[in-house]
Structure 1
């Protein structure tokens, strides 16, 4: 009897070990198929450019392609809602931004997702200050020129944005308040069409990220950057502080998030791939040339701590800027 019980216990122990090894193996083997990265902004804009740079490098690290799925609209909310409802298996992630996890909860009374509860953290990609841009044929050569013209003719000048609640909208709303000017908001369905109209001279100005290639190619003129120090990529362009507009800084950021309840080992795998991508000198060079500051590798918990800390600050920016849904 004792021998029979012993054999039975040994059998179940062996089965348990096999199942445990299979479970551990299942956790390690990720990914086994392509991953979708939802971007709540149109192709060709600053957010899309960041997503494509990081997706390409993470694909190499993970051994599976990361496919960009642009879902523009409602200040990034359409993409965020889709990501929040996706299966939490690691095969759908999203490009999180200061809009999706900062401004929008304060701008929209009926947000279709909860920025913290509906998501799980992956990691921070970079931070990027906005640059005030005008057409190369614009009569405004300095921030002072633009401010003076706006004060003389309130409401006549306009600014473009990628839509209500976009980083361009929020930055310009704060600029209006700090400079004491009245300029009209013209929202577009994404940054790319806004930039096209700016270069054509049908929009007077825009404050955005990722536009340095347009400046270097001579298509746009940069008047100031909303940073504490000049950008290495634009050493001759002053900060707003240096240009006479005090306390104007924008801390736009990009990161990666997954649907809530995505298993921790999968989040860690994605985080490790992101860290490897950010360590790539070519990626760092591309981000610096875009006017961004690449993030140092950090844990998933550190990233979520950053997100939760900046949310009340983003909400205060919405309140103090006077930005409203239009």
Structure 2
């Protein structure tokens, strides 16, 4: 009778099992890789949803719909825009974060939703860095300091002097608590040494400025460009390093005597975490081409913004940096929910 001995860790039987296990692991890896590649090549096979975390009529909605239409042409599938406003954009971004990571839900990420909301809302349903896959940055732009034309201030210095002479009597509007407009106002109060009252609007905050229900607003150029030309609104300063070509006579805050006050906001495209990398790359490739078209560049320019694009990695790095920068600004300005 032959004696069969199995020595632990050193038998042909165990080596055979190891080889089979290794082959199985390798085969599984290549099957998964092949499956992902086939999925990416066929993507998209049905309509895509783009969640915009703000109401209709503002720059995110206007530009988001334009980008969606052009991206739809490039991908060969309809992109349906869904507005989910509220809580500084956090309601919409939570919906994105909790969606299936299959490439059929995208989110228009704003500075408000990704960078400001986490500093003011304690129980967000998402993490601005870990809950999303970055696709591409879309734009970057500086705010402008606006006043109603009835306000007796033609320069930034005159506005500051007026606010100091009437503490608590001037109101400034924002598009809601926990938005860049809100932080911009609180940061201005700190930088200029003035006391103004914050009036948050759920939507259409610019109408409050036009009617003089509020006297001051910190906003991008786009919503007010026609009202500047009609004389209903006065632009006092650009809160950035360069003047705007559309309003070349309006100085920067540094030129107007407030050098430490600059407000920059960004927008970009994100997807739920663990969306397949090949899908992210596919959307990014089309988006880069979209953002380079003259039609898109002109539309963004008319909103006082630059149409730009980036790699997913570059946009992810910007999100991380922005979260830190806005948290610092919120803390310095002692911003809080009204």
By how many angstroms is 1:218 displaced?
3.8
Partner of 2:321: 309
By how many angstroms is 1:25 displaced?
3.0
Partner of 2:267: 254
Asked if 1:177 corresponds to 2:185, the answer is no
Asked if 1:293 corresponds to 2:279, the answer is no
Unpaired runs of 5+ residues, structure 2, are: 1-29
Unpaired runs of 5+ residues, structure 1, are: 1-16
| Offset from partner CA, 1:1-35 (integer Å, 9 cap, x none) | xxxxxxxxxxxxxxxx9998776333211112221
Aligned match for 1:220, one of 223, 228, 233: 233
Asked if 1:200 corresponds to 2:208, the answer is no
| Offset from partner CA, 1:48-97 (integer Å, 9 cap, x none) | 12212222221111112222111111111110111111111111111111
Q: Give the direction of change, closer, same or farther, for the CA distance of 1:172–1:278 in structure 2 (3 Å limit).
A: same
Partner of 1:29: 42
Computed over aligned residues only, the root mean square deviation of the Cα atoms, in angstroms, reads 2.0
Q: d(CA) in 2 for partners of 1:22 and 1:298?
A: 27
By how many angstroms is 1:309 displaced?
2.1
TM-score by length of 2: 0.86
Partner of 1:280: 293
> Contact (CA 8 Å) 2:72, 2:78: kept in 1 or not?
yes
Partner of 1:245: 258
By how many angstroms is 1:38 displaced?
0.9
Partner of 1:51: 64
List structure 1 runs of 4+ shifted beyond 4 angstroms: 17-23
Partner of 2:149: 136
Q: d(CA) in 2 for partners of 1:51 and 1:230?
A: 25
Q: d(CA) in 2 for partners of 1:223 and 1:139?
A: 12
Partner of 1:66: 79
By how many angstroms is 1:207 displaced?
0.5
The structure whose Rg is larger is 2
Q: d(CA) in 1 for partners of 2:32 and 2:141?
A: 47
Matches within 5 A, 1:76-95: 76-95=89-108
Asked if 1:148 corresponds to 2:194, the answer is no
By how many angstroms is 1:259 displaced?
0.5
By how many angstroms is 1:269 displaced?
1.2
> Contact (CA 8 Å) 1:178, 1:246: kept in 2 or not?
no
By how many angstroms is 1:292 displaced?
1.1
Aligned match for 2:333, one of 317, 321, 326: 321
TM-score by length of 1: 0.89
- Aligned residue pairs total 308
